[in-house]
Amino acid sequence: MKTPLKHNRSQGFTLIEVMVVVIVIGILAATIIPQFMGTTHDAKVSTAKSHVAEMESALERFYVHMDRYPTTEEGMKVLVDAPASDATKWRGPYIKQLRQDPWGNPYQFRSPGTHHPTSFDIWSRGADGADGGDGKGLDLGNWQ
């Protein structure tokens, strides 16, 4: 007795089916990706604000031990390394390391400050790397 012939039809996707899936994925990507484009900048702003608050706290601890804020010339490096003049009072390091801002620039320090004339100003120059600015180039400091 003869067995019926089986037709082996290969299972797979046609070119049309693949193209439809690619087009659908493209449409989804075009509508979803723009919603996340601004989140990178927002994350950098939040990080800069957090760093400024951390350094402000470290400078206040420095003040408690040293009875003064660092001078502009000393800068924030006295939070990591003892100043030569007052090494006996220094109880640091007050922070582990001085960081760059999220845009790769050093944080700025001024004592006495323009915004805080009895203490200090710490700020990041923002995305544009220059003092002043608005929008994405806005300075982020301890006065905001």
Q: What is the CATH number of the domain that holds 106?
A: 3.30.700.10
Model-level pTM?
0.71
Total domains in the fold of the chain? 1
Containing 124, the helix (H) or strand (E) segment is strand 121-124
100 part of a folded domain: yes
Which structural domain, as residue segments, surrounds residue 91?
41-141
72 part of a folded domain: yes
19 part of a folded domain: no
Kindly report the number of other CB atoms within 10 A of residue 69's CB atom.
Answer: 20
Token match 């919603």: residue? 35
Q: Tell me: the pLDDT tens digits for 10-40?
A: 677 788 888 999 999 988 888 887 777 767 8
27 part of a folded domain: no
pLDDT given for residue 135 in this prediction: 79
